Amino acid sequence: MKNPVEVWYLYHSGFAAKINNKLLIFDYYSNRPANDGPSLYNGIFNPGDFKDHDVFVFVSHRHRDHYNPVIFRWMNENPNISLIISSDVKGYKSHPNIYKTEPDNKYEIRDIYAETFASTDEGIAFLVKAEETVLFHAGDLHWWHWDGEPDSFNRQMEIQYKAQVEKLKKHHIDIAFLVADPRQENFSLLGLDWFAREVSCTHIFPMHFSNDYSIMNNIKKYMESNSIPAEIHLITKRGQRFCIGN
């Protein structure tokens, strides 16, 4: 990572990352502002405010909590917006600035690089290299271990998740956005923990917790009792901004 990165937590799995004049947006979902603050600080993106930026919008899959069709309207307001969309999202007209993506592929999009991984749920996860910074957004790729599921399901999840993490090991990741879902109770940090131990990574942001910030207490306790090399950033509200690397 050569350049400082600003990261905004938008909502749930939605994040924005600004590096120089590039703005990357992942899994944008809630388009209701959280406060009266300016764009991003209010948890939403206003395309008119970023006309001097190259904007890259990533959609990991079609689930309602990861995707909002408002992104197609943004392109009318700002010609510098590119959409990088998992192929399970349907029902839009093709456009030169829309890139349809499949798992296990590599893409050059304008002057950024993206690599895709299969999800353990639907769609894909993205590894993105922009301005010498490597970011990873997991989408719904996760070790979805549930108390009520049969052992065979949980075991299958483990195998699939670990197989994707294995592929990530050849990269150094500066910033990773990883599932930490409080609904999994005692198993909510299983995936994050495995990733943090196996992958060379500097910064981790938890995601997929909607309004349940109680997961941050669990993460705090986890950090106190486990020595892991990455820094995990605790999130307290929508629109929160983190400055990394300066």
202 is written with which tokens?
A: 């500097």
Find the shortest distance in angstroms from Cβ 66 to Zn ion.
Answer: 5
Beta strands 54-59 and 81-86 are parallel
The residue (of 115 and 140) whose beta carbon lies closer to Zn ion is 140
Residues in touch with Zn ion (CB under 5 A): 140
Find the shortest distance in angstroms from Cβ 180 to Zn ion.
Answer: 12
Find the shortest distance in angstroms from Cβ 183 to Zn ion.
Answer: 11
The residue (of 5 and 59) whose beta carbon lies closer to Zn ion is 59
Residue 233 to residue 174: CA distance in whole angstroms: 13
Find the shortest distance in angstroms from Cβ 115 to Zn ion.
Answer: 20
221 is written with which tokens?
A: 């306790």
The residue (of 62 and 171) whose beta carbon lies closer to Zn ion is 62
Nearest residue (beta carbon) to Zn ion: 140
Beta strands 124-130 and 133-137 are antiparallel
The residue (of 54 and 140) whose beta carbon lies closer to Zn ion is 140
Find the shortest distance in angstroms from Cβ 84 to Zn ion.
Answer: 18
Listed in sequence order, the DSSP H helices in the chain are: 70-77, 151-168, 190-198, 215-225
Contact between residue 195 and residue 223 where contact means Cβ atoms under 8 Å apart? no
The residue (of 5 and 125) whose beta carbon lies closer to Zn ion is 125
Host H or E run for residue 126: strand 124-130
Residue-wise DSSP of 40-98:
TTTSS--GGGGTTSEEEEEE----TTT--THHHHHHHH-TTEEEEEETT--S----TTE
Find the shortest distance in angstroms from Cβ 18 to Zn ion.
Answer: 24
The residue (of 54 and 181) whose beta carbon lies closer to Zn ion is 181
